[in-house]
Chains A and B, each alone.
Chain A
Amino acid sequence: MDSAKLMTMKEAVSKFVRDGDTVYLAGFTHMIPFAAGHEIIRQKRKELTLCRATPDIIYDQMIAAGCGKKLVFSYAGNPGVGSLRCFRRALEKSQPKTIEIEEYTHFGLSGRLFAGATKMPFLPMRTNLGSDLPPQNPNIKTVKDPYTGIEVSVVPPLRPDLAVVHVQRADRNGNAHIWGIIGEQKDAAFASKRVIVSAEEIVDESVIRSDPNRTLIPDFVVHAVVHEPWCAHPSYTQGYYDRDNEFYMQWDEITKEHESTMKWIDEWVNGVEDRAEYMKKMPQEKVKKLLPKACMSAPVNYGSV
C-alpha cells in the first residue's frame, strides 16, 4: 500500500505550493484549513491568486502577510462580525501592497468550481442579470440560450493549481470522510490540479470502506495527506471542536492597524513551528470550551447478499 502521500504540513506546502499559484483553501465557515494558510505564510509564498467564496480570516491573514496578488471571492466579510480589515486596507490603501479583485456571487463562484471539476466549457445560471457586478467583471458574460433564445448569464470554469481541503478523517492514501457543512470541498478538490487533504484523524482504509457514502473525495485525486489535528481553528470541525466565535470577534480588534495585525502574525504564525505548537500555546480553558457534546447518527446497514 502506497503511503508516500502522508507527510507534514510543512512538507506538503513546500512540495505543492509555488509562488504565483492559483490556490483554493476550501471550507464554507466549516473546516477552513488555517494550518495550511499559516504554513504558506511561514514559507513566504507570494504572488498567489487566492480563491475562496468567503475569504474569511484565513485570507485576511495571508493578505496582511503579503502572500496575495489577487483575490477571487464572493463575500469578503467577517461572518457575523463585519469587515475583513486587512483585505480592505489592501484594496482601499494598498497596505501592505495593492490587491487585484475578481468578484462573483456565491452561486457564481461555486458554479465556477463545479464547472472546473466537471470540465464544462462554462456554466449558465439564473443570477447576475440586472446587477452591477457583471460590468465590473468581464468573466461574467451572457449567451443566448440556443433553445429559447433568451439571454442567460454564464461563468467560466475555475481550475486552481492547488486545493487544500480539511476533513474529519482520511486514510493514508487520502480517501476522505466529510460530514457537516460540506461547502465546496468536493468541487474544489475535483477542480484542482494538486490536492492536499489534511485530517483530524488518519484512519484505516477499512473505516473508510465501512461508510462509502461519506467519502466525498477519493484517494486518486489527492496528492498529499497531512495528519493535522485542530487544523481548522478558529473555524471548526463538526464533532471535534466548535467555532471559536470569540476569536472571530477579537480579530476585528487585532486588525485595527496593519502593525497590530503583524504583531499577531509574528506571535501566532511566524513565532510557532507548526500547528501542534500553536495549539500548545492556546490556553487550555479555551480549548476545553470548544469541545462539543456528542450527537451520534443512527448506524446504517451497507450489507449485501
Chain B
Amino acid sequence: MMDYTANELMVIVAARELRDGESVLVGVGIPNLAANLAMKLQAPGLNMVYESGAVGSNPTRMPLSIGDPCLVTGAKSICSMYEQFAYYLQGGRIDVGFLGGAQIDKYGNINSTVIGSYKTPKVRLPGSGGACDIASNVKKIIVITPHEKRRFVEKVDFLTSPGYVDGKQKWQELKLQGGGPYAVITNLCTMRFDDVTGEMTLASVHPGVTVEQVQENTPWKLKVAEKLEQTPPPTEKEIATLRALDPDKTYLG
C-alpha cells in the first residue's frame, strides 16, 4: 500500500462524498482539489460552481482564488455575482457546498468572522463572504477541517453560517431551505449529524485512528454512531490522481 499524508486522505474522503451529476459550490484550496478529484474519478459529470459566478469550470491549473481567470477559460457559463446567489444558490440549483472556518461547534455552526467579541475582536477573520448564503441554501453542507481542539468548540464565538443552530428543532423553525450540515471530514474521521437532534456524531474513523484519539481532540463528549465504520484506505488510483492534480504540492504540502 502507498504512503499518504493526512491532508491527502482528507481530500480523498471528501471527494468520495460527491456524486456524478451533482452541482457543487467550490471554495479554493482543499475543497477545489476534492471536487477536481471526484470529477476525474466517479463523477465526470460534476458541475463545479464558484461564488465568483463561474459555472461548470474546467480549470487546467489549480486556481489561487475563486475568481481566477483559469476558471473562466472553457467554463459552461459565467453570470454576475447577484445572479450566482439568486439563480443558483437561492434557486436551489446547488447540491453540495463545501465550507471551512476557524471554529465549528457540535451542531455544525461555523465561525469565520471573529475570535473574541465582534465589537472588540481578538482576531478579526474575513467574515461570511458567501458562506452564510451557501449554508442556508445548499442541500448538503460538507465541512473539511483539520481536527484540532481550537477549531472544534462547544459553541462558536460568532455564528457566521448556520448549521443546526442549537438543535434541529430551532433549525426547522427558521425555515431555511437548505438541507443543513451533512458531513464533517477531518484528518482523523468523518462525522455526520443525528437525524433527530442535529448533533454531530462520529460515523467513521480513518485508518489507524481510534475513537479515543478523536475524542481527545474534541472538547465535548462526542456522540458515536451505533454502527461505527472504518474509512477505507485510499486506493493507489485515488492517490496517483490526486497528486497529478497538485504536482507542486501547493495545497498538499
Contact of A242 (CB < 8 Å), options: B69, B128, B170: B69
B90 touches A126 (CB 8 A): yes
Compute the total of residue contacts between A and B using a CB distance below 8 Å: 176
Q: Is A75 an interface residue when CB atoms closer than 8 A count as contact?
A: yes
**Known contacts being A129-B136, A186-B80, is A29 close to B68, with CB within 8 Å?**
yes
Chain B residues in 8 Å Cβ range of A114: 82, 86
CB of A290, distance to nearest CB on chain B (Å): 10
B: contact size bracket: 35 or more
B67 touches A131 (CB 8 A): no
Contact of B128 (CB < 8 Å), options: A105, A179, A243, A245: A105
Q: CA A107 – CA B94 in complex, angstroms?
A: 15
User: Which of the 9-residue segments B4-12, B174-182, B222-230 touches chain A?
Assistant: B174-182
> At the interface, is chain B mostly helix, strand, loop or mixed?
loop
Q: Is B159 an interface residue when CB atoms closer than 8 A count as contact?
A: yes
Q: Is A133 an interface residue when CB atoms closer than 8 A count as contact?
A: yes
Chain B residues in 8 Å Cβ range of A81: 64
A181 touches B72 (CB 8 A): yes
B82 touches A113 (CB 8 A): yes
Per-residue CB contact flags for chain B residues 43-81 toward chain A (1 = under 8 Å, else 0) read 000000001111000000001111111011110001111
Q: CA A198 – CA B93 in complex, angstroms?
A: 35
Contact of B79 (CB < 8 Å), options: A29, A92, A128, A182: A182
B126 touches A80 (CB 8 A): no
Nearest residue in A to B164 (C-beta to C-beta)? A130
Q: Is A238 an interface residue when CB atoms closer than 8 A count as contact?
A: yes
Contact of B159 (CB < 8 Å), options: A107, A130, A150, A182: A130
**Known contacts being A127-B132, A238-B69, is A184 close to B82, with CB within 8 Å?**
yes
Q: CA A88 – CA B86 in complex, angstroms?
A: 30
B66 touches A29 (CB 8 A): yes
**Known contacts being A125-B90, A127-B137, is A181 close to B52, with CB within 8 Å?**
yes
Chain B residues in 8 Å Cβ range of A53: 81, 129
Q: Is A73 an interface residue when CB atoms closer than 8 A count as contact?
A: yes
Per-residue CB contact flags for chain A residues 66-92 toward chain B (1 = under 8 Å, else 0) read 000000011111011101100110011
- Chain B residues near A (Cβ < 8 Å): 28-29, 51-54, 63-69, 71-74, 78-82, 85-86, 89-90, 113, 118, 121, 124-133, 136-137, 158-162, 165, 170-171, 174-177
User: Can you name 7 A-B residue pairings with CB atoms under 8 Å?
Assistant: A79-B28, A92-B124, A105-B129, A114-B86, A131-B159, A183-B67, A243-B64
12 further A-B contacts with Cβ under 8 Å, apart from A105-B131, A110-B80, A182-B81, are A29-B65, A30-B52, A105-B128, A106-B133, A111-B85, A129-B162, A130-B136, A130-B171, A131-B132, A132-B160, A182-B53, A184-B82
